[in-house]
Amino acid sequence: MGGDDPRPAAGPLPDARLSLTRPARGVVAGSPARRMGQNRIMSRRTSRPRPDAVTAASPCPCGLSATYGECCGARHAGSPAPTAESLMRSRYSAFVVGDEPYLLRSWHPDTRPDRVGLDDRTRWLGLEVHGSTDGGSFHQEGTVEFTATYLERGQRGAVREHSRFVRHEGAWVYVGPLPPSA
């Protein structure tokens, strides 16, 4: 990354799940890319940088126009996500507000790690959803591709992931990143 370039660095897509004990190639152990996971193609609304404290009345970190309390905060409090994209957005917001229990609850039990290991030094800057496939009210599976930008130890970075979601016991859950396309 160039010294004066304000754009986030989009690193390589990891070829491994977050629950692995070793980082994927190009991913630093403990980095946001390792904690978030890692990858369709219409540009959607992007989020704005957030202040450090998010309240119920704050704009939702996921980038939608509702407040945090009406949007992702409701998911964090137990309201089910109606779509795979809604779950993905609420998981991003959980990283922003540091809600590790929600991240674990919304992770499929077959791929869920024992802990996420959030880092207070990471400031999540924004979310861009590139697209999704299936993942609606009548689907059992879906994917969402997104980029999440962050600032950690003075360095800007980005996590780009194409994630897989399934219904488990009637609720959408995160399975993990899809492998990179060849």
Q: b vs e for 138-151, b when ≥16 Cβ sit within 10 Å of the residue's Cβ? A: eeeebbbbbbbbbb
Is 17 within a domain?
Answer: no
Tens digit of pLDDT for each residue in 100-159? 999 999 999 999 999 999 998 999 999 999 999 999 999 999 999 999 999 999 999 999
Distance CA 165, CA 154 (A): 32
Is 13 within a domain?
Answer: no
Distance CA 93, CA 77 (A): 12
Is 151 within a domain?
Answer: yes
CB contact at 8 A, 118 and 100: yes
Distance CA 24, CA 102 (A): 24
Is 1 within a domain?
Answer: no
Tens digit of pLDDT for each residue in 39-63? 333 334 444 444 468 999 999 999 9
Tens digit of pLDDT for each residue in 58-100? 999 999 999 999 999 999 999 999 999 999 999 999 999 999 9
Total domains in the fold of the chain: 1
Tens digit of pLDDT for each residue in 8-20? 333 332 332 232 2
